[in-house]
Structure 1
Amino acid sequence: MNSPITAVIIGCEIGFWVLVCGGLAVRYLLNARRASVVILALVPVLDLVLLAAVAYDIHRGADVDLVHRVAGIYLGVTVAFGHSMVSWADVRFAHWFADGPPPPRPPKKGPAGLRRELIAFGQWLAAAGVAVLAILVLSTTVGDADQDAALAGIFPMLGTITVIWLLTGPVWALFDRRERD
């Protein structure tokens, strides 16, 4: 954990779940929907904090390493999957604390399972796009030539993750012929 960016990523992840759980607790335990919306609206601020921390670290001349590239991927994942993670938690909080229905089991097989995998893969593609955009912005605004080249190391990582996700998600669901559970 030599890079301060590692601590920022961990802090943003903890902050994400504190805001989500806090916002939902305020919604369901205190019946304060407006306050809950305000708390949940603070979640994207964490993304800006992470981006600013990476930009500052690069601007001050830090050697770009894996953690800087992971920060770009983390940013993309929180942007693309954040809403669905909040929705996932919201359904559970509603069930536990507000007599809501139990969360439905996600489909694993058939057309519904394939659709679910395609949606998740689409979210990943959006996450990868955000990561690419963040890296390009950092490269053109605060990085020097060496840092730009090191930041470009994210592209093979994103390609590898994308291929693995495609094969183990939608393609697997398309050709999975096992019996239903």
Structure 2
Amino acid sequence: MIVTLILAAEAAFWVVLALGLITRYLLRWRTVSTVLLVGLPVIDLGLFLLTFLDLRGGATASWTHALAASYLGFSVGYGPSVVRWADARFLHRFAGGPKPPPAPGYGAERSRHEWRICGRTLVSVAITVTLISALKLFTGAPGTAVFDQWYWKLGIAAVVNTAIAASYTLWPKRPPKPGS
């Protein structure tokens, strides 16, 4: 059941995002668009609440329950940047807006860009760890030991992302030399 809910939440996220952008740029319904885009995390919150209720109802914990919790963590950590990314591309493609600038490629600007991504990852990881811990502590579900391996995966994601950001700070990528 949780896998079906995850797939439905994923589809709903992208449908609501598309509807938010369509109402903003093609229909020019700014208020409706804002409500839709601000409501995006509600989809993942609903998924988490259903996951919580599933475990409280006696379901055995599995990795899919932890994945459902990570959706809400991702939505909070990365959601605003995903909306900005989609907004800029939709504006350019369908509403005559300017072409979105690429991510910075070199030097200190690239390093700052990588640290912003790292910060989003750390927020996502912290929220996901908190939510998974809440599932373990407050549901009384059997099999929550399966969540322990999820902590390791989240930790690895945080460490790898921090190492990438640090590498761009310690060894900044330099632009190619002219004529190279």
TM-score by length of 2: 0.89
Distance in 2 (CA, whole Å) between partners of 1:180 and 1:121 is 23
1:174: how far off?
A: 2.6
Q: Secondary structure at the match of 2:145?
A: helix
Distance in 2 (CA, whole Å) between partners of 1:72 and 1:154 is 11
Per-residue CA distance 1:30-63 (angstroms, 9 max, x = gap): 1111111122122122112111121122112222
Equivalent residue in structure 2 for 1:57, among 27, 35, 54: 54
Distance in 1 (CA, whole Å) between partners of 2:157 and 2:37 is 29
- For 1:5, the equivalent position in structure 2 comes to 2
Equivalent residue in structure 2 for 1:138, among 135, 140, 149: 135
| Structure 1 gap ranges (5+) | none
Q: What value does the CA root-mean-square deviation take over the aligned residues?
A: 1.7
1:147-166 equivalences under 5 Å are 147-166=143-162
Distance in 1 (CA, whole Å) between partners of 2:66 and 2:32 is 35
Cα distance change on mapping 1:178 and 1:80 into 2, 3 Å:
closer
Equivalent residue in structure 1 for 2:175, among 153, 176, 180: 180
Equivalent residue in structure 2 for 1:31, among 28, 33, 39: 28
Question: Given residue 172 of structure 1, which amino acid in structure 2 is its aligned partner?
Answer: S
1:46-85 equivalences under 5 Å are 46-85=43-82
1:142: how far off?
A: 1.1
TM-score by length of 1: 0.88
Contact 1:139 1:147 (C-alpha < 8 Å) held by counterparts: no
Question: Given residue 105 of structure 2, which amino acid in structure 1 is its aligned partner?
Answer: K
1:176: how far off?
A: 4.3
Distance in 2 (CA, whole Å) between partners of 1:179 and 1:151 is 42
Contact 1:27 1:36 (C-alpha < 8 Å) held by counterparts: yes
Alignment of 1:20 onto 2:17: yes
Q: Secondary structure at the match of 1:152?
A: helix
Alignment of 1:170 onto 2:165: yes
Deviates more, 1:57-66 or 1:121-130: 57-66
Q: Secondary structure at the match of 1:50?
A: helix
1:177: how far off?
A: 5.4
Distance in 2 (CA, whole Å) between partners of 1:119 and 1:99 is 28
Q: Secondary structure at the match of 1:107?
A: coil
Q: Secondary structure at the match of 1:61?
A: coil
Aligned length: 176
Alignment of 1:128 onto 2:121: no
Distance in 2 (CA, whole Å) between partners of 1:126 and 1:137 is 17
In the TM superposition, structure 1's runs of 4+ consecutive aligned residues that sit over 4 Å from their partners are 175-179
Percentage of matched positions with identical amino acids: 34
Q: Secondary structure at the match of 2:114?
A: helix
Question: Given residue 149 of structure 1, which amino acid in structure 2 is its aligned partner?
Answer: A
Distance in 2 (CA, whole Å) between partners of 1:88 and 1:147 is 38
Contact 1:76 1:130 (C-alpha < 8 Å) held by counterparts: yes
| Structure 2 gap ranges (5+) | none
